[in-house]
Chain A
Amino acid sequence: MVNAVVYKMILASGILVLSLLVAMYSTLVERKVAGWFQDRHGPNRAGPWGLLQPLADGIKLFFKEEFMPNTADKFLYILGPSLTMLVACLTSAVIPWGPDIVINGESYALQVADINIGILYIFAIVSVGVYGIMIGGWASNNKYSLLGAVRASSQMISYELAMSLSIITIVMMTGSLSMREIVNQQQGFNWNIWYQPLGFLIFLICAFAETNRAPFDLPECETELVGGYHTEYSSMKLGFYLFAEYINMFISGAVMATLFLGGYHFPGLDKLGLSPNVFALVSFLVLFTKITFFGFIFMWVRWTLPRFRYDQLMKLGWKSLMPLAILNVLVTGVIILFNL
Chain B
Amino acid sequence: MFTKYIFILLTVLALYSGIMVLVSRKPIHSVLFLTLTFFAIAGHYVLLNAQFLAVVHVIVYAGAIMVLFLFTVMLLNLNKDEHSPKSRWAKLLAVIAGCMLMLTLIGIFRNYDLAVAYDPMMTQIGLVKNLGKILYENYLLPFELSSILFLTAMVGAVLLGKKEQL
Contact = CB atoms under 8 A, between A and B. Distances in A.
Judge: A and B partners, yes or no.
Answer: yes
A123 to B, nearest CB: 5
Contacts of A134: 67, 70-71, 74
A131 interface: yes
B128 A146 contact: no
B55 A116 contact: no
Interface string B120-134: 000000011100000
Interface in A177-204: 177
Q: Give the interface residue-count category, chain A.
A: 20 to 34
A149 B74 contact: yes
B74 A124 contact: no
Given A153-B70, A177-B128, A124 B51 contact: no
Contacts of A124: 55, 58-59, 62-63
A128 B63 contact: yes
Given A135-B32, A138-B28, A120 B71 contact: no
Contacts of B55: 117, 120-121, 123-124
Interface in B23-62: 26, 28, 32, 35, 51-52, 55-56, 58-59, 62
The 3 closest A-B pairs by CB, nearest first: A127-B63, A124-B58, A120-B55
Interface of B: 26, 28, 32, 35, 51-52, 55-56, 58-59, 62-64, 67-68, 70-71, 74-75, 77, 127-129
B58 A157 contact: no
B54 to A, nearest CB: 9
B74 A146 contact: yes
A128 B62 contact: yes
A153 B71 contact: yes
Interface of A: 73, 76, 115-117, 120-121, 123-124, 126-128, 130-131, 134-135, 138, 146, 149-150, 153-154, 156-157, 160, 177
Contact of B62 (A73, A115, A117, A127): A127
B71 A117 contact: no
Contacts of A130: 67
A130 B77 CA distance: 18
B68 A150 contact: no
- Chain A contact residues: helix, strand, loop or mixed: helix
Nearest to A126: B63
28 contacts: A73-B26, A76-B32, A115-B51, A116-B128, A117-B51, A117-B52, A123-B63, A124-B55, A124-B59, A126-B63, A127-B62, A127-B63, A127-B67, A128-B58, A128-B63, A130-B67, A131-B35, A131-B70, A134-B70, A134-B71, A138-B28, A138-B70, A138-B74, A146-B74, A157-B64, A157-B67, A157-B68, A177-B128
A284 to B, nearest CB: 27
B75 A150 contact: yes
A150 B51 contact: no
A150 B59 contact: no
Contact of B67 (A121, A123, A131): A131
Q: Which of B35, B58, B63, B75 has the most A CB atoms < 10 Å from its CB?
A: B63
A150 B74 contact: yes
Contacts of A160: 63
A123 B64 contact: no
A80 B70 CA distance: 14
A177 B70 CA distance: 30
Given A121-B55, A157-B67, 5 more contacts: A117-B55, A124-B58, A127-B59, A134-B71, A156-B67
A153 B52 contact: no
A120 B127 contact: no
Contacts of B28: 76, 138
Contact of B64 (A76, A127, A138, A177): A127
Contacts of B71: 134, 150, 153-154
Contacts of B75: 150
Contacts of A146: 74, 77
